[in-house]
Amino acid sequence: MKLPDPIKNVVDGLSRLPSIGPRQAIRLAFYLVNENKEDIHDLAVSINNLRTLKICERCFFIHQNKGNLCDICANPTRRQGVIMIIEKETDLISLENTGKFTGRYCIVGPIPKTGLLEDWQKKRMQSLKDFIGKNATEGGLGGKTDEIIFGFNPTALGDLQASILMKELAPLAKKTSRLGRGLPTGGEIEFADDETLGSALDRRS
């Protein structure tokens, strides 16, 4: 049947979100219709405010600072010579919640199954290489960063992502490692509890 245009537009928008199919989008749209009008307005304002967020020029995490760096990259106490390569923002949040990692991050995004980086991912890799080169020179690290950790999910695709980037970045680090297999094989970093993630960090190899 034909849905009213406002419902159809919301359904189309929600369907573009990860893990949201058309049926779930329709359920969510009708749920919103039955909400208080003020609540709908508040939600719309909150979503619109996402436009004010910026992307960190160093690790590519979101922030709302005046400068170009997020809180992590702007923190002088973080170890600049230890870099964790991760797929997505939620992985960073989960790893930060462990309180065990004191280095910096680089979010590369999901690598296609073809193994070929998208143009925007190539730019992120070049930005990372430029940072490593500058930091290693200024920090007296002998032209290489101390360690690069490949923080990808312990899945077949995660292994592929790690192997692709390891070939490209290993020459720039004195040491490379992956998170320890305290993470269940086939699991995802985003959904692991703090204790498991902390163990995976401690047991990286």
The span from the CA of 171 to the CA of 183, in Å, is: 27
Q: Is residue 42 located within the same domain as residue 103?
A: no
Say which residue, 140 or 111, is predicted with more confidence.
111
Write the burial class of residue 61 (CB in 10 Å: 0-12 exposed, 13-18 middle, 19+ buried).
buried
Tens-digit pLDDT profile for residues 142-161: 678 999 999 988 788 888 88
Encoding tokens for residue 191?
A: 């959904």
165: domain CATH number? Answer: 3.40.1360.10
Concatenating the DSSP letter of every residue in 40-57 gives HHHHHHHHHHGGG-EE-T
Q: Is residue 82 located within the same domain as residue 126?
A: yes
Q: 67 CB contacts (<8 Å, ≥6 apart)?
A: 74
Q: Is residue 121 located within the same domain as residue 37?
A: no
Q: Is residue 36 located within the same domain as residue 128?
A: no
Domain that holds residue 45: 5-52
Across the range 181-191, mean pLDDT stands at: 62
25: domain CATH number? Answer: 1.10.8.420
Tens-digit pLDDT profile for residues 79-135: 999 999 999 999 999 999 989 899 999 999 988 878 788 999 999 999 999 999 888
Q: 153 CB contacts (<8 Å, ≥6 apart)?
A: 87, 183, 187, 188, 189
Q: Is residue 83 located within the same domain as residue 182?
A: yes
Q: Is residue 61 located within the same domain as residue 138?
A: yes
Q: Is residue 121 located within the same domain as residue 140?
A: yes
| Three-class SS state of 155 | coil
Q: 202 CB contacts (<8 Å, ≥6 apart)?
A: 100, 180
Average pLDDT, whole number, for the chain? 87
